[in-house]
Amino acid sequence: MIVDLITIKDSQTAFNFLLQANEIDLESETAKVRNTTKVEANVKKGIAQTDVKGKIYTDLEIECSRCLQPTENSFEIPFSAVFVTPENYTEAKEAELKGEDLEVSIFEGDKIDLKELVREQILLNLPIQVFCREDCKGLCQKCGANLNLIDCNCEEKEVDPRWAALKNLK
């Protein structure tokens, strides 16, 4: 969704749009968009900057951190971004960045691509760990079997090789 700032007459305009799953490439091996993503955004056009606030509603398929099985998760992601032109952004090499500066993006021309903003916000809000269930047993360290599905019977008590010679002393 490209927002043309020239066509915006009011200082604040609401946008609601849908993005199909194939339109958002997360470039991630562990997560992908499952269904249509809904975006509700308000664009507030100012003299020096343009503010975009809203919410993203999406369903993602994310690999379980323990057993690598795909899990489905629904997300409601609030976001806020500020777009400024290069002439309104400081280029000082020794400028100190503040927390709110991380939300500032530079854009050229009169158009803002909200699709890229949506992709970026989804990636920033991916959880560090996702589990298919609370008591997920994960994978066997020896054979790689999913311990939720089978009992692999691999030797659980491995002897440290530094102490293996002491086992024969009896």
Confidence check: pLDDT of 95 > 90? no
Confidence check: pLDDT of 170 > 80? no
- Residue 66 is classified by DSSP as T
Contact 57, 37 (CB under 8 A): yes
Percent of the chain at pLDDT exceeding 90:
34
Q: Is the same domain home to 25 and 59?
A: yes
pLDDT band at 18 (very low <50, low <70, confident <90, very high): very high
Q: Is the same domain home to 111 and 150?
A: no
Q: Is the same domain home to 90 and 153?
A: no
SS3 4: strand
Between residues 145 and 105, the one the model is more confident about: 145
Q: Is the same domain home to 44 and 118?
A: yes
Tokens of 29: 């091996």
Kind plus residue range of the DSSP H or E element containing 28: none
Q: Of 2, 87, 84, give the one whose Cα is nearest residue 50.
A: 84
Which pTM does this prediction carry? 0.75
> What pLDDT score was predicted for residue 103?
62
